[in-house]
Amino acid sequence: MATWIAITIVAVAIASFYLGWFFREKIGKDKVSKAESYSDELIHSAKQEAEDLKREKLLEVEETVFQKSQAIEEEKKRQTANFKRIERDLQLKESGLDRKVDILNQKEHQLKQVDHNLKSREKQITAREQELVEIVAEQNKKLEMISGLTSEEAKAVQMENIIDAAREEAAQTLKELKDKVQLTAKTQAREIIVQAIQRSAINHVVESTVTVVQLPDDDMKGRIIGREGRNIRAFEAATGVEVLIDDTPEMVMLSGFDPVRREIAKLALEKLIYDGRIHPGRIEEVIEKSRQEVEEKVFEDGEQALVDVGLFGLHHDLVKLIGQLRFHTSQGQNVLQHSLEVAVVAGLMASELELDTMVARRAGLLHEIGYALDNYSGGTISELSADLAKKYGESEDVQNAILYANSQEIGYNAISPIAVLVSVANEISRMRPGAQKEMLQTYFNRLKSLEEIANSFIGVTNSYAIQAGREIRVIVSHSSDDEKYPDQMATSLAQKIKMNLSYPGQIKINIIREYRSISFAR
């Protein structure tokens, strides 16, 4: 039994082995078959893709070749068309040149014909000229025989007559032009000056050189003087101004050569009177504050002056000096107001003449800036003012105009029309009625001296100074036989007045030679 079981087991094992081997072989062959089939499919697919890619590349190459061939064909057509166009243009130009050549040939033929005609005409004219020369020579011989003069003598006489006539005509024309120019120039100058005066609107304030301070009562005089005069001495030492206290009720006077110091002293004294505390310490404190206020006011006045005349760009120190002119006077005329007036009038006249108005105004405003200097020595005001203008960078035209403003006194020459305008504006401002004041006795003495100089000449019967000394009428005797004596006297009198008198502006001299013939009818 056991044997059969063992045999059965062995048989089953053998059978299992063979079955296993069989199935393994079977499955292995199937896998190999499938792998071979899959490999064949991959190869076939790869070949198919390669064929497709090859066809695509071939198509792309063919397309590229086709496009290039098309482009080459189009370029060829374009070049061909361009060549044809150039050929047509050349043919047209050649045709045009042919026509021009024909025209030139025709013109050349015409010119030759004209030249031939001109030469023929020239020969005719030459022959005619020769004939005329012979006729003129024959006529000249006849004229010489009739007149008794040679041709050269006749030419000289005729030339002399022509020259005399030309001189007479030129003299007449020159006289007419001179009269016309003088009349026109006087009219235009008068119109320009009148317009400048009418358009200038400067306020004129003439300030006295004596500064007066009003007091609330006479007791204030004692407080100003102080115990043993300490207050007044401290005040005078700090300001440099003398305080004059007399019996005049409720007022004191401040005396000093420097107008700026007088202004500081006036302002300080008014503050002390208003405050009531008057002692040396307080006096020094108030004077220092007043000095600062005056300096600020001076600069403000300078800036306002620039605004009034429309100027800008002046040096800071010049602006300050312009403001200080408010405290200075010349022959009773406030220098700042006078300078403003000169600047405005000069600027207006420059505008009328189409000149540089800015230069005219700068020169007019600065022409007496030298008055603002505290201490100066040597030179006239014009020279000092010109030196200041040069120092602070003003132009040469401005400097020359400042010097020329008083040219009748210092003898400088003008280098530009601006200088003349500033001088004229200065005279207009100075000579305006009421602009300057002088002492009554000085005025009478000047008139008396003027008449005495006129009476010193031989033949003068009487003389009268009129128009506030700006004109003198001299009556001369008719007994003198020299008709030119009045003219000579006028010239000599003008020179003598100029040498012996000092006067503003100019003096007109009228020499009157009167002759009366009297008879009676009975």
121, two tokens = 């005409």
Identify whether 135 is part of a domain: yes
End residue of a domain, out of 145, 170, 185:
145
Q: How many other CB atoms are there within 10 angstroms of residue 406's CB atom? A: 21
Using CA atoms, how far residue 143 sits from 133, 152, 199, 407, in Å, is 15, 12, 74, 67
- Closest by CA to 239, choosing from 231, 227, 250, 228, is 231
253's CB contacts (< 8 A; 6+ apart) are: 210, 211, 212, 213, 243, 244, 246
End residue of a domain, out of 126, 145, 164:
145
User: Identity (one letter) of the amino acid at 57?
Assistant: K
**Are 412 and 472 in a shared domain?**
no
**Are 427 and 322 in a shared domain?**
yes
Identify whether 492 is part of a domain: yes
**Are 114 and 257 in a shared domain?**
no
**pLDDT attached to residue 184:** 62
Identify whether 64 is part of a domain: yes
**Are 136 and 86 in a shared domain?**
yes
**Are 459 and 425 in a shared domain?**
no
Determine the Cα–Cα distance for residues 490 and 463; give it in Å rounded to an integer.
13
Phi-psi region of 460 (alpha: psi -120 to 50; beta: other; left: phi over 0): beta
**Are 67 and 45 in a shared domain?**
yes
- CATH number of the domain that 462 lies in? 3.30.300.20
- Closest by CA to 513, choosing from 457, 444, 459, is 459
Determine the Cα–Cα distance for residues 297 and 430; give it in Å rounded to an integer.
27
**Are 43 and 90 in a shared domain?**
yes
- CATH number of the domain that 218 lies in? 1.10.3210
Identify whether 486 is part of a domain: yes
Question: Do 401 and 388 meet the contact criterion of CB atoms below 8 Å apart?
Answer: no
End residue of a domain, out of 431, 464, 492:
431
**Are 335 and 396 in a shared domain?**
yes
Expressed in angstroms, the distance from the first to the final Cα of the chain is 228
**Are 269 and 340 in a shared domain?**
yes
**Are 410 and 446 in a shared domain?**
no
Identify whether 383 is part of a domain: yes
Identify whether 66 is part of a domain: yes
Q: Structurally, how many domains does the chain consist of?
A: 3
Range of the domain at 257: 211-431
**Are 308 and 394 in a shared domain?**
yes
Identify whether 197 is part of a domain: no
377, two tokens = 């020595």
Question: Do 344 and 354 meet the contact criterion of CB atoms below 8 Å apart?
Answer: no
Exposure string for 294-314, b = 16+ CB within 10 A, e = fewer:
beeebbebbbebbeebebeeb
Residues 198, 201, 206, 207, Cα dihedral to 10° = -170
Identify whether 476 is part of a domain: yes
**Are 369 and 462 in a shared domain?**
no
Taking only the tens of pLDDT, the chain with its 522 residues reads 566 676 777 777 777 776 776 666 666 666 667 766 777 777 777 778 878 888 888 888 888 888 888 888 888 888 888 888 888 888 888 888 888 888 888 888 888 888 888 888 888 888 888 888 888 777 777 766 776 666 676 667 667 777 777 777 776 777 777 666 666 655 555 555 545 444 444 444 444 556 788 888 888 888 888 888 888 888 888 888 888 887 778 888 888 777 788 888 888 888 888 888 888 888 889 899 988 998 888 888 888 888 888 888 888 888 888 888 888 877 667 888 888 888 888 888 888 888 888 988 888 888 888 888 866 556 678 888 888 888 888 888 888 888 887 755 556 777 888 888 888 888 877 766 555 554 455 667 778 888 888 888 888 888 888 777 788 888 887 765 556 667 778 888 888 888 888 776 678 888 887 666 777 776
224, two tokens = 């100003």
Q: Which residue has the tokens 């007449």?
A: 172
